[in-house]
Amino acid sequence: MKILIATKNRGKFNEIAGVLRDVSLKDGEGVELGFLGDLKVEDSDFVEDGVTHEENARKKAKYYFERVLTGEVLMGDGSGSDGDWSGSREVRGNSGGERKIPQSFDFVIGEDSGIYVDALAGEMGVQTRRWGAGENATDKKWLEYFMKRMGSLAPGDSDRGAKFVCNACLIGNLDGELIEKCFEGETYGEITHEIGAELLPGLPLSSVFLPDGYDKVYAALSTADKNKISHRGQAIGKVRDFLMNFK
């Protein structure tokens, strides 16, 4: 089974892959995971404008799954993805050149996540990465801006409570049956006063989010421990459970 993870954020892909990579389906089949960032994708018309995480996750999954069906966008050899795409076929692009695309993905997973901080009520949520210094800022610059705001609004321990939320939507078509399922996960904690671990690429808040009941920030936890408790780990864990019981 081939699954496209519809994100260009390598940090998010790595976390999702860490949960799904060892999935064993009922018939004993495994999975191959494709990273959107490894493929040339003509997606300039895609706008992430949902007002909830589920709306954004569903929109991503639908958008890329429709293009999987038509073969419009998955241009490239997928050499950096989890699978080698040895079954790729030649297609002729709009420019007339020959390119390789994967033959098919069975499922696409669209994911959307964000943080809700007491001191920044109404400011982040679905806009988290686009908030503040903006989505084009480096992880370091984005986090510097965030921590400066937190220092001015919540210099003490009050109002530093926070909640991470993730929604993951799975869309696929197997044996003529269209499958569309969305799953959510959330984790409560607080924002630390100082950066508690080295920044994970694409996941700057992981270095300052201390989950309830733990003495280490997300980024300082082992992959296994983080996947057990994190918002993304919970949502993708539900996807994993669904897939393992699907066939």
Euclidean distance between CA atoms 245 and 5, whole angstroms: 20
- Say if residues 19 and 25 touch (Cβ distance below 8 Å): no
112 carries an active-site annotation = yes
CA atoms within 13 A on the CB side of 76: 17
Label residue 85 exposed, middle or buried (CB < 10 Å: 0-12, 13-18, 19+).
buried
Whats the size of the chain, residue-wise? 247
CA distance 134 to 142: 7
One of 112, 118, 212, 241 is an active-site residue; which one?
A: 112
What are the CA-CA distances from residue 154 to residues 54, 119, 145, 190 (Å)? 30, 6, 14, 11
Write b or e for each residue in 193-222: b if 16 or more Cβ atoms lie within 10 A of its Cβ, otherwise e.
eebbeebbebbbbbbbbbbeebeebbbbbe
CA distance 93 to 99: 7
Instruction: Determine the Cα–Cα distance for residues 168 and 17; give it in Å rounded to an integer.
Output: 13
Q: Which residues are catalytic?
A: 112
